[in-house]
Amino acid sequence: MTGFKVDRVREMFPALVSKDEQPATIFLDNPGGTQVPRMVIEAIGQAMASAASNLGGLFPSSIRAEEIWQSSHQAMADMLGASSMREIIVGPSMTTLTLHISRSIGRTFNRGDEIIVTRMDHEGDISPWLLLAEDLGLVVKWLSFNRDSWQIEVEDLKSLLTDKTRLLALNFASNLTGSINNVAELSSVARAAGALVYVDAVQLAPHRLVSVNELNCDFLACSSYKFYGPHLGILWGRESILEKLHAYRCRCSSDELPQRLETGTPQTELLAGLEATVNYFQWLGELCGYTGSRREKLAGAYTTAIAYEDQLTTRLIQGLEEIRGLQIYGITDVERIHDRVPTVSFTHDSFTPDEMSQTLAKNGICAWTGHNYAYEVVKHLGLDVEQGVLRLGIAQYNTESEIDTTLGVLTDLLK
Ligand SMILES: Cc1ncc(COP(=O)(O)O)c(C=O)c1O
């Protein structure tokens, strides 16, 4: 194994402690949401104790709430590589933020304009755009993924672009197949054709450091509960675009960025947790021996975690491939491990995903089944939409022995 100190990482997570002499729960449901480190839990509690006031008051708890709002936005700007915190919009979830901003973006479109959505995305980056198209009379074009590479191909995108294309909405990494798209290249092609590019990085952000300014996209959304944080969504938008968008907001609220695109009272305690989530990655970078700026430490944390996660993923894929009748949907070639996040979905000839999941659950292993809102992917693969797949996803706190235990339970069931 690499120099990744998984024992130190695990100590951070209260949910990983075994209780009543039972083995600790094995969390492989991570693509649906990760467990939370102590520093995040404590920050949320402290904010509720000391900053449970609305923003804008002249008294200490309100001033503290304002500080939390500022520093959490700055922390996310650092984490995403944004030019400033004016580009960071925080809300309850990625889906809510996307539904909200899609209304503002739609104000710049006309009936008959074209938008492109993909068959690889989570519904959170499809349905808002389909609803917008319905409201405005837009033409929807579907971009598929390649069944061999498991990625979206630039040539397929080019064949859909016309002088009427206004938007490309695509994911960075699939929440079902785990494959990572070449977003920088796809964005450049779409933007050169005059389209805005909206990227769903919800599944990528737990496993890769995002650098929005290297991607050529216009918007990028993620959710902190997928990377050890609280239930919040975060949206980055290019400042020059955000400041021109029509904002759906209360008349008397601030017209400054990013407040003009954040409606209502902020979830201050969760914002405190969000900043602590970034601090967790920073702590991890330091633990792995990295120094320098916050972003340098974050980069170090990701670099070390990627090497560790890749080894566990390789072990998982190789173990699953030895089970007869089991079919993995996604990249299995270990030479291409860098083209995927550690989310591995599969079906079996004789057992349904729910049957496999029930057996795993009886053995203290958490895993998701179904379409997981990757509804188009499941349909495109010709799978039963209700049953979908069994999905296992690795996080920083998982261990080699957890992977082996899981493979052992599955092998016993499926042999
Ligand atoms: C790829 C992807 N996009 C979007 C979402 C929706 O995120 P949220 O729950 O924050 O709306 C998810 C959640 O699973 C996801 O995996």
112 conformational bin, left if phi > 0, alpha if psi -120 to 50, beta if neither: left
Q: Is 95 in the pocket of ligand 1 (CB under 6 A)?
A: yes
Domains defined for the chain, CATH in brackets: 6-36+293-414 (3.90.1150.10), 42-277 (3.40.640.10)
Q: What is the pLDDT of residues 267-298, one digit of tens each?
A: 999 999 999 999 999 999 999 999 999 999 99
Encoded tokens for 405: 């235990």
- Atom number, ligand 1, closest to the C-alpha of residue 173: 1
Is 2's pLDDT higher than 50? no
Nearest alpha carbon, ligand 1 atom 9: 93
Q: Is 106 in the pocket of ligand 1 (CB under 6 A)?
A: no
Is 21's pLDDT higher than 90? no
pLDDT at 19: 83
Q: What percent of the chain has pLDDT over 70?
A: 100
Q: Is 37 in the pocket of ligand 1 (CB under 6 A)?
A: no
Nearest alpha carbon, ligand 1 atom 13: 32
CA of 413 to the centre of ligand 1 (A): 31
- Atom number, ligand 1, closest to the C-alpha of residue 203: 1
Q: What is the pLDDT of residues 176-227, one digit of tens each?
A: 999 999 999 999 999 999 999 999 999 999 999 999 999 999 999 999 999 9
- For tokens 């949910």, the residue is 15
Q: What is the pLDDT of residues 396-405, one digit of tens each?
A: 999 999 999 9
**DSSP β-ladder status, 233-237 and 326-328:** unpaired
pLDDT at 340: 98
Is 111's pLDDT higher than 60? yes
Q: What is the pLDDT of residues 302-329, one digit of tens each?
A: 999 999 999 999 999 999 999 999 999 9
The one-letter code for the residue type at 17 is V
pLDDT at 1: 37
CA of 202 to the centre of ligand 1 (A): 6
Q: Is 230 in the pocket of ligand 1 (CB under 6 A)?
A: no
Element holding 16 (H helix, E strand): none
- Atom number, ligand 1, closest to the C-alpha of residue 225: 10
Query: What span, in angstroms and rounded, lies between the C-alpha atoms of 184 and 111?
Result: 29
